[in-house]
Structure 1
Amino acid sequence: MHIRETHFVAKNIHKSRLQEYGVGIFEGITSKSALKKAIKKKLIWVNGKEAFTATFISGGEKIEYLVDTQTPSKRLKLPLQVIFEDEYLAVINKPAGILVSGNKFLTIANALPQNLKISRAKDAVDPQPVHRLDYETTGLLLVGKTNSAIVALNQMFKNRAIKKTYLAVTIGEMRENGHISLPIDNKVASSSFSVIQSTLSDRFTYLNLVELQPQTGRRHQLRKHLYAIGNPILGDKLYFKDNLQLRGKGLYLHAYSLQFQHPISNNTMNFKAILPKKFYNIFPEFEL
């Protein structure tokens, strides 16, 4: 291993844990999950000693970010559909059945370097997703390619300046539109829905093509909210009514639209991803 970046902590700081202080101090580590991953791999050292997430930073420390020089035994081969790409960010169409990131080999994050061009920007980093999509969810995923873009996009998500719209197929009769405000894990969570089309179903009574807009970003928020109002998403293995679970077709939840201001150029960005074929098998006349 060799040192990739070094950070010197100011002496007059408020004492905090490394997992909080260390986010954003290195160009190659711009999120808490990325920091934890680097610490777990023993790539972060404080004052010449291996660091841990619970390590306290009180001022004056030297924090080093190392690079693992070992060559990976294998490279992930996973072609991804790239919707948009420039020097600072990219938008890809995530397939179903793949984790966005994590400790497993087969993840979107591990496949990004083989699918995206190397950024020529001065603060270029390894491309990394800046938000989550569930394992079975398909659709648009926003990726940062530079430190400044990743930091800006994370802040935009925090400020709710990025509009995400989903399409889902839900079960049961629904009112035309509505707003759901139900806490998730004791945290405020809110979502809006609008029914686009409905069709009769022998097994499910009604199936609905629904547009969804989450105002917060809790884990499984849309799935939990729709289940809570009695209209679970078709194909959901976790949140479903007895005898109304569809097996073998996957989750009918698709991130189909992203709208935001480009963090570098300030241009208005608007992307849409075509629905998977299984949606059109139920609603063949729908046009995106």
Structure 2
Amino acid sequence: MIKVETHKVPELKNRIRLQEYAVGIFQTIPTKSGIKKAIKKGLILVNDETTSTAKYIIGGEKIELYQSENEEVFTRLQLDLEVLFEDDYLAIIYKPAGILVSGNKFVTIANALTQNLQKSKQQDAVKPQPIHRLDYPTSGLLLIGKTSSTIIKLSALFKNKEISKTYFAITIGLMNSEAIINSPIDEKESITNYTILQTVKSERFGFLNLVKLSPKTGRKHQLRKHLLGIGNPILGDKEYFLEGKVLNGKGLYLHASILEFIHPFTKEKIYTSKELPKKFTKIFSIT
């Protein structure tokens, strides 16, 4: 057998089964099912001894992952993510534009989380999971759960509208300085508040606006649909656009900039922000 990875267990508050603890500690086997298979095949050793899925980890152990010599090497995703906040329960990362949050593709944010985040020491630690979605062309902050109880609590916060999200977009055409858009989406209540921060003249588009957006609901493509619905689509949107007003080659000018909520376990107020991408500041001077 060939040794692939080694992990040193830190001090733990409570003992935990190996098959639960080992999820996320190895870059080459990120899933619980993969860990169980490796244990049963004798490819995971604890303190130089083969073990079983019933083994308890108490802290201080050396855990090694091996690979059969005739087994193909697992190809893992190489994607460095910017982590803006992280503790034992959750994380907030920056999602670049042009990457899927999750799905059947190899290159997704979900597939890159294990290698970019520290494994939680909580007993219900799981493979890190995104709590909400951002569209493929949208950049910005993404909230991640690292334990099963955190994922449940954060999902409840979203459902109860206790997580505040702020976006910035560049839109096309003249707009009112501020307004509430409440057009239903898929026959469901949908509310978006917006405020114009700056407006500039554009030879091609007439006017461009830097808009601050505060969605009060979370429908699919809500911001893009709402802005097109009032005749002011987002610059670079190739799905929700006005004829002759499509900008090619620069991507979508929509950025999830701020997340605010009360931490479900520590009860501290979390406020995380990410500055606007350079393509925004090339059009608008931001102070």
Distance 1:222 1:145 in 2: 28
Amino acid at match of 1:156: L
How far apart, in 2, do the equivalents of 1:141 and 1:113 lie? Answer: 15
Q: Which residue of 2 aligns with 1:109?
A: 110
Q: Equivalent residue for 1:286?
A: 286
In the superposition, the TM-score normalised over structure 1's length comes to 0.74
The residue identity in structure 1 corresponding to 2:147 is: T
Deviations 1:212-261 (A, max 9, x none): 01111111000000000000000000011111100000000000000000
How far apart, in 1, do the equivalents of 2:243 and 2:164 lie? 34
Structure 1 CA distance for aligned equivalents of residues 179 and 135 of structure 2: 23
Flag the 1:72–1:164 CA change in 2: closer, same or farther, 3 A.
farther
Q: Once superposed, which parts of structure 1, at least 4 consecutive aligned residues long, lie more than 6 Å away?
A: 69-72
Q: Which residues in structure 2 correspond to 1:229-268 (within 5 Å)?
A: 229-268=230-269
The residue aligned with 2:59 is: none
Residue identity opposite 2:241 in structure 1? F
Residues of 2 paired with 1:237 and 1:177: CA distance? 25
Distance 1:194 1:71 in 2: 54
Task: Check 1:218–1:71 CA distance in 2 against 1; reply closer, same or farther (3 A cut).
Answer: farther
CA distance in 2, matches of 1:176, 1:184: 23
AA of the residue aligned to 1:209: L
Quick check: 1:97 aligned with 2:106? no
Q: 1:235 to 1:88 in 2, by over 3 A?
A: same
- Provide Cα deviations, 1:109-139, integer angstroms capped at 9, x if missing partner: 0000010011111111100100000000000
What is the number of equivalent residue pairs in this alignment? 222
Please give the secondary structure, in 2, of the residue aligned with 1:170: strand
Give the corresponding residue for 1:134. Answer: 135
Residue 245 of structure 1 aligns to a residue whose secondary structure is coil
User: Which residue identity is paired with 1:177?
Assistant: E
**1:282 is paired with a residue of what secondary structure?**
coil
In 1, distance between residues paired with 2:150 and 2:242? 42
Q: Which one-letter code corresponds to 2:207 in the other structure?
A: Y
| C-alpha displacement of 1:73 | 2.7
1:49-104 Cα shifts (integer Å, max 9, x gaps): xxxxxxxxxxxxxxxxxxxx998731000000100111000000100101001111
Aligned equivalent of 2:76: 75
Q: How many Å separate the matches in 2 of 1:183 and 1:170?
A: 20
Structure 1 vs Structure 2 CA RMSD: 1.9
* Residue aligned with 1:227, SS: helix
Measured in 2, the distance between the counterparts of 1:211 and 1:74 equals 41
Q: Which runs of 5+ in 2 are unaligned?
A: 1-19, 22-30, 34-66
Which residue does the alignment assign to 1:182? 183
Question: 1:34 maps to what in 2?
Answer: none
